[in-house]
A = this chain, B = another copy of it.
Amino acid sequence: MDFNDSPEEAAFRTEVRAWLEANASPKGEATGFNRARWSEADALKRAKEWQAKRAAAGYAKITWPKEVGGRGGTPIQQVIYNQEEAKFDVPTGFFDIGLGMCIPTLMTYGKPEDLKRYVKPALLGQEIWCQLFSEPAAGSDVAGLRTRAEKDGDEWVINGQKVWTSGAHYSDFGILLTRTDPNVPKHKGLTMFYIDMKDPAVVVKPIKQINGGANFNEVYFTDLRVKDSQRLGAVGDGWKVALTTLMHERLAVGGGGGGNGPDYKELLELARATELEDGPAIRNASVREKIADTYVRTQGLKYTTYRTMTALSRGQQPGPEASIGKVVSAPKLQDVTGYGMDLQDQAGVLIGASDAPLEAAFQQAYMWAPGLRIAGGTDEILRNIIAERVLGLPGDIRVDKDLPFKDAPTGR
């Protein structure tokens, strides 16, 4: 048991690091939390440049075959690359959904000419993809979606609304799950397409969040016409295709926990700097216990990630423990940020970066934490998933399983 690279891994790490040093700048010191250093437009431009560069070097998708622009490498090599890249000041993230979910779906269900047309530009960062599944009435229950696609000759006419679409406003294409038959049970009447996001029949509106940000969009379709050749999988097989997409929505296996907001280290730092009624917060036993409780969860997640990486390193499938990340980290963030604000006493309400300790990291993350408990699967859905997929417990009773979709209760 150790934390060392195998000789091959070490060699790969050296190679990657050399390339990164030649092509990017290392990150500076403490950069603060949650604060965009560039405008989105700037970041997007820089990200596209960086993506082109790393794709050219074979680092964009290390596990993809060489024929499609990958490197034919191993999952652990991808992890090593990610770890090393994280030390450099490069903008990423814009391509994760496209390359992580959409293009793999296209690779499974698309025609050869689709692959030829779309894979390379996506890999090079020239075209960005988004994923259009969730709807206002279909959140946790994605298969309850209502966006209609109706056949009209060799085309489909699409009307409806998607929601919670990350990156819709800067995406060029999207994969879109639609209902093509409301007369069969809900999972059976779905069909998948890919669409041009720049079509004037597609309208994107940002969703303003509690914390003032707008990480997601609503997307409206009004008589959007899509060729039948843009269909992915058979008519009515959309759910099966979507499961392929979601299967690729793996937990990122990266450099370990944290990074998303203040954690036990920041709580320690805050406690050292803060006076309570009875003296410095760091001498207060309750504060100390909270630091320890937070540490244990954070480190537990970090070492769980190491276990997953070990499986990858040994060429094995990661175990089910990889599924616990967000159900631990999201409530932990909500807890630790609220606690940090409590330590600041009445001034805990101040959210200006210059008004509160640690550039108001606790306050800013506190306002985001409720979103983290929901986005990408609510706490409740994640527990269901662990119970069902990891522990093998039965699914919830599905009253709508055998009903034609149009007859399923909806409350409207």
In this complex, what residue of B is CB-closest to A276?
Answer: B285
Task: Indicate which residue in B285, B397, B399 contacts A286 across the interface (CB closer than 8 Å).
Answer: B285
Residues in B neighbouring A67, C-beta threshold 8 A = none
Q: In the complex, which residues of chain B have a beta carbon less than 8 angstroms from the beta carbon of A399?
A: 397
Q: Which residues of B contact A278 (CB under 8 A)?
A: 285
Task: State the oligomeric state as a number of copies.
Answer: 2
Q: Give the shortest distance, in Å, between A399 (CB) and chain B (any CB).
A: 6
Chain B: minimal CB distance from A81 (Å) = 44
Q: What B residues does A287 contact at CB under 8 A?
A: 285
Complex: how many Å from CA A407 to CA B127?
Answer: 58
How far apart sit A344 and B45, CA to CA, in the bound complex (Å)? 62
Nearest-CB distance from A168 to chain B (Å)?
35
Query: In chain A between 234 and 287, which residues have their CB closer than 8 angstroms to a CB of chain B?
Result: 278, 284-287
Chain A, range 392-412, C-beta contacts under 8 Å to B: 397, 399
Q: Which residue of B lies closest to A290 (CB)?
A: B286
Q: Give the complex CA separation of A397 and B396 in angstroms.
A: 10
**Per-position 1/0 for A187-225, Cβ under 8 A of B:** 000000000000000000000000000000000000000
Residues of B within 8 A of A288 (CB): 286
A289 within 8 A of B: yes
* Assembly CA distance A287 to B284 (angstroms): 11
Instruction: Tell me the complex Cα distance, A399–B278, Å.
Output: 58
For residue A278, which residue of chain B has the nearest CB? Answer: B285
The B-contacting residues of A in range 272-314, CB under 8 angstroms, are 278, 284-289
> Measured between alpha carbons, how far is A220 from B144 in the docked complex, in Å?
50
Instruction: State how many angstroms separate the Cβ of A75 from the closest Cβ of chain B.
Output: 40
User: With a CB–CB cut-off of 8 A, which chain B residues contact A289?
Assistant: 286
A289: nearest chain-B partner, CB-CB: B286
Which of A285, A287, A289: most chain B CB closer than 10 A?
A285
Alpha-carbon gap, A244 to B278, bound state (A): 56
Chain B residues near A285: list those with CB within 8 A.
Answer: 278, 284-287
Rounded to whole angstroms, the CA-CA distance of A278 and B285 in the bound complex is 9
Report the minimal beta-carbon distance from A392 to chain B, rounded to whole angstroms. Answer: 15
Cβ-closest chain B residue relative to A396: B397
What is the CB-to-nearest-CB distance from A97 to chain B, in angstroms, rounded to a whole number? 35
Q: How far is the CB of A396 from chain B (nearest CB, A)?
A: 9
Query: Would you list which residues of chain A between 344 and 395 have a CB under 8 Å from chain B?
Result: none
User: A397 CA to B278 CA in the complex, in Å?
Assistant: 53
Q: Of A286, A287, A399, which is in contact with the most chain B CB atoms at under 10 Å from its CB?
A: A286
Of residues 325 through 360 on chain A, the ones whose CB sits less than 8 Å from some CB of chain B are none
A284 partner residues in chain B, CB cutoff 8 A: 285
* A288 closest partner in B (C-beta): B286
A186 nearest CB across to chain B (Å): 17
| Cα separation A284 to B287 with both chains bound (whole Å) | 11
- What's the least CB distance linking A327 to chain B, in Å? 20
Q: In whole angstroms, what is the CA distance A288 to B286 when docked?
A: 9
- In the bound complex, CA of A397 to CA of B400 (Å): 12
The residues of B that contact A286 with a CB separation of less than 8 Å are 285-286, 288-289
Shortest beta-carbon distance, A267 to chain B, in Å? 15
Q: Which residues on A are within 8 Å of B, measured CB to CB?
A: 278, 284-289, 397, 399
What 5 additional pairs, Cβ within 8 angstroms, besides A284-B285, A286-B286? A278-B285, A285-B286, A285-B287, A397-B397, A397-B399
Q: Which 9 A-B pairs have the closest CB atoms?
A: A286-B286, A285-B286, A285-B285, A284-B285, A397-B397, A286-B289, A397-B399, A278-B285, A285-B287
10 interchain pairs, CB-CB under 8 A: A278-B285, A284-B285, A285-B285, A285-B286, A285-B287, A286-B286, A286-B288, A286-B289, A397-B397, A397-B399
